[in-house]
Amino acid sequence: MDYYITAQSRASLWEKHKNRLEEARKAWRERKFWYAFPEDPSQYDSALAQQGEADFKAQLSRPFDRLRQPGKKWVISDEVSPYTQEPLGISYPQADPQEAIELAQKALSIWRWVPWTERLGILMESVERFQRRFFEVAHATLHTTGQAWMMAFQASGPHAADRAVEALAVAYHELDHIPPHVRWEKPTPKEPILIEKHFIPQPEGISLHFGVSTFPVWNTLPGLYASLAVGSPVLLKPHPRAVYPIAIVVAILQELFEEHGLPSTIVQLVVDTLAEPVGKRLAEHPAVRIIDYTGGPEFGAYLESLPNKITFLEKAGVNPVLIESVNDITSVAKNIAFSASLYSGQMCTAPQNVYILRGGVKTAQGQLSYEEVVQALTKAIEELAGHPKAAPAILGALQNSTVAERVQRLSGHGQVRRSATAYKHPQYEQARTLTPLIVEAPSSREDFLRTEHFGPRLIFVPVADGEAALEAIYQLAREKGMLSCSIYTTDSSFKQRAIQKLAEAAVPISFNFHGQAFINQSVAFSDFHGTGGNPAGNASFTDSSFIVKRFRWVQVRDCLKG
């Protein structure tokens, strides 16, 4: 392929997408409502919906042959639908880890020197193409993660794509504010010193990205696009239980790279199985410099311990709710019930510990006792879990059986206020389902309260007063970390004390969420997902450090007059 032609085509992509990327950068700076892709499936061509479903069905029990990368053998993934509990039967080409790294090193020598404007143009084009695959990705997500349909479409489609564009917008911001070339002149008594200076952004090296089984696209795209934007090739190791959704994105990128005269191996899918993992072999290789990871704290701690690595990690946190005072307990209870039930609590932002004042809670209608608050919360969850339409649309299914086993074990750790029971899915009789368990645990059970119990559960914690609850949340954030914190209060002075105290522990706080505003949801271009300042994670989607840690500015000076 003629290099001049491909370079011209890459430059044209930058011109095509520059204005859109400028809009995204403006939205990121201003933090106002903006989106790159509509979240409502009905706003897309119905033909895309039909094609996406057909493509999904056609892919089952077949090799995923869209990837443009070598593989010594084909392996069937560990993907099993949480709805049918049947294997997807999809096989993927498996490369030797050493070979994949060698190909990434070759790709690095090319991709790092593609002008960043051309890189961003190609990557924006890939997201636009991804849009045409939203429906297939949604079906793939539903049948690998257990998310309900609307969440599967939004989280793995438009919301994930928005986060990708956000990462590109921040990369644009960071790469654009330093001029590539200046003529520097310093006056002196005799003649000026004249130096020509060039500033060249260079990536830190090869990036390794670990996928997660619950959000295989949403959690992956920010880091994937951030690394690619700064010139780093990416080895993407998906979770063995959720390969298909992100494989679609990788195939789109590889196709686009080839079209524009670049190695398809700028991004590679490195698959493994639960029985034969390859993650540590990749992570420990000296050529791998950057690691993105979402998952459990044990493996996250291992990755952080590796020498000479730059890590962007989202690990486990224990997310609290504090009910200090409210206007209307019914609306508060419904909001908390939704947040706790959404995707059966399998979200990193889902609430767990609910701190309730032992002496009761003030409301606009008068004082409510502790027991009345507990009853309101329990009733809200009962109503949601028992609703024939709401339950399947909100709860979805459990990603794997371990989640159910973990939640059921919690029954022995406190007073059970509501048992976890399965609900019958109207479409999938074999769906693995579980409605939220509610237990009451005394605040003295510090070990129990400071552990993330991933899944559909709420733990009620009676506390002496609001100040005691704040202190408990502060200590929890410092020692275990959290990705969300919800506080209900009508006391403005208490609110200010909470902000000051918890901000020092890098806690993101949501006050008085009700109606259609839920703490689980993190909006691109406005919300930072995580702070990176507490043990729940060391990175944030998407602040400047999420980009600038991935590359360096290299200065070249040419003295013309001295």
pTM: 0.95
- Indicate if 219 and 335 belong to the same structural domain: no
The answer to whether residue 528 is domain-embedded is no
- Indicate if 253 and 147 belong to the same structural domain: yes
CA-to-CA distance for 30 and 140, rounded, in angstroms? 34
CA-to-CA distance for 246 and 157, rounded, in angstroms? 11
DSSP conformation class of 557: E
Mind listing the pLDDT tens digit of every residue in the chain (562 residues)? Answer: 444 456 677 889 999 999 999 999 999 999 999 999 999 999 999 999 999 999 999 999 999 999 999 988 999 999 999 999 999 999 999 989 999 999 999 999 999 999 999 999 999 999 999 999 999 999 999 999 999 999 999 999 999 999 999 999 999 999 999 999 999 999 999 899 999 999 999 999 999 999 999 999 999 999 999 999 999 999 999 999 999 999 999 999 999 999 999 999 999 999 999 999 999 999 999 999 999 999 999 999 999 999 999 999 999 899 999 999 999 999 999 999 999 999 999 999 999 999 999 999 999 889 999 999 999 999 999 999 999 999 999 999 999 999 989 988 888 888 899 999 999 999 999 999 999 999 998 766 778 889 999 999 999 999 999 999 999 999 999 999 999 999 999 999 999 999 999 999 999 999 999 999 999 989 999 999 999 999 999 999 999 999 999 999 999 999 998 7
- Indicate if 260 and 371 belong to the same structural domain: no
The answer to whether residue 533 is domain-embedded is no
In the chain, % helix, strand, coil (3-state, to 5) comes to: 45, 20, 40
Residue 561's Cβ-count burial label (10 Å; 0-12, 13-18, 19+) is exposed
- Indicate if 307 and 326 belong to the same structural domain: no
Strand pairing class (437-440; 415-418): antiparallel
Half-sphere CA count of 429, side-chain side, radius 13 A: 0
- Domain extent at residue 252: 3-30+37-315+540-558
The answer to whether residue 522 is domain-embedded is no
- Indicate if 282 and 375 belong to the same structural domain: no
CATH of the domain at 407: 3.40.309.10
Amino acid at 44: Y
CA-to-CA distance for 540 and 313, rounded, in angstroms? 9
Number of domains in the chain: 2
CATH of the domain at 22: 3.40.605.10
The answer to whether residue 532 is domain-embedded is no
pLDDT of residue 561: 85
pLDDT of residue 3: 42
The answer to whether residue 431 is domain-embedded is yes
- Indicate if 285 and 343 belong to the same structural domain: no
The answer to whether residue 440 is domain-embedded is yes
Q: What is the DSSP string of 119-151?
A: HHHHHHHHHHHHHTTHHHHHHHHHHHH---HHH
* Residue 387, CA distances (Å) to 341, 382, 384, 397, 436 in order: 12, 8, 5, 15, 14
Phi-psi domain of 216 (left: phi exceeds 0; alpha: psi -120 through 50; beta: other)? alpha
Contact between residue 434 and residue 344 where contact means Cβ atoms under 8 Å apart? yes
What sign does the CA torsion over 230, 232, 237, 243 have?
A: positive
Strand pairing class (193-203; 206-210): unpaired
The answer to whether residue 332 is domain-embedded is yes
Beta bridge partner(s), residue 463: 357
- Indicate if 432 and 551 belong to the same structural domain: no
- Indicate if 251 and 356 belong to the same structural domain: no
The answer to whether residue 549 is domain-embedded is yes
- Indicate if 176 and 223 belong to the same structural domain: yes
Cα-Cα end-to-end distance for the chain = 45
- Indicate if 324 and 311 belong to the same structural domain: no
- Indicate if 291 and 349 belong to the same structural domain: no
Q: Which of 490, 511, 532 is the last residue of a domain?
A: 511
Strand pairing class (206-210; 288-294): parallel
Reference 458, options 327, 300, 335, 351; nearest CA is 351
pLDDT of residue 1: 43
CA-to-CA distance for 526 and 138, rounded, in angstroms? 24
- Indicate if 126 and 156 belong to the same structural domain: yes
Q: What is the DSSP string of 443-464?
A: TT-HHHHTS---SSEEEEEEES
